[in-house]
Structure 1
Amino acid sequence: MSSESRPNVDHDPHADCTACGAALAEQRLALQTYPEAGENSIAGLSAGGLLYCPDCASEPVELLAAWDDHAHPPIDADRSIGGGYREIRDRCSFCAEELGSAPVVGVELYRRPSDTLPAYANYTLCSDCKEVFEEFLANVRGR
Structure 2
Amino acid sequence: MGDILVIDDDASSLFLIQDLLTSMGLGDKVTVATNVSDALSLVQNRIGTAQFPDLVLLDIRMPETDGFAFLEKLKTLSCAPHPDPKVVILSYYGNRKYQEQAEQYQVTAYLKKPLTREKVLDIINLS
TM-score (norm 1): 0.27
Which protein has the bigger helix share?
2
From the CA coordinates, give the structure whose radius of gyration is larger: 1
Q: Which has the higher contact order (CA 8 A, sep 6+)?
A: 1
